[in-house]
Amino acid sequence: MTYANITIRGLNEKTYRKARALAVEEGKNMGEVVNEALQIWLAKPVKKIKAKSFMDLFERPNDWGVKTDIAKEADEYIYR
C-alpha cells in the first residue's frame, strides 16, 4: 500500500487536539486515525437522490402565502 504526506486545511483545532491526544493514548499516529476515519466514512451507504428531472434536485422557492411580485415591486422602486 502506498502512503502520501498530505496537508489538511480547515480542521477544527480543538477537535484535532482531542483526536491527537486519544491517538497517543491508543499508540496510534494521526495518519492511522485519519485513515480509519476515512474508511468508516467511505463504508457508509451513499444517499441517492431520486429525481424525475434536473430541477427536482433543487429546493423550490418558499410559498409566502400571499401573492407577491418582488421583481415588480423592485422595478417600481428602482425606476420611479
To which residue does cell 486515525 refer?
33
Tell me the C-alpha to C-alpha distance, in Å, between residue 10 and each of 2, 20, 33, 70: 25, 16, 17, 38
Position 78 confidence tier, pLDDT thresholds 50, 70, 90: confident
Q: What 8-state DSSP symbol labels residue 56? A: G
Position 73 confidence tier, pLDDT thresholds 50, 70, 90: confident
19, 33 contact by CB (below 8 A):
yes
Q: Structure pTM?
A: 0.55
**Tens digit of each residue's pLDDT (9 = 90 or more) over 14-27:** 999 999 999 999 99
Spell out the domain ranges in the chain. 13-78
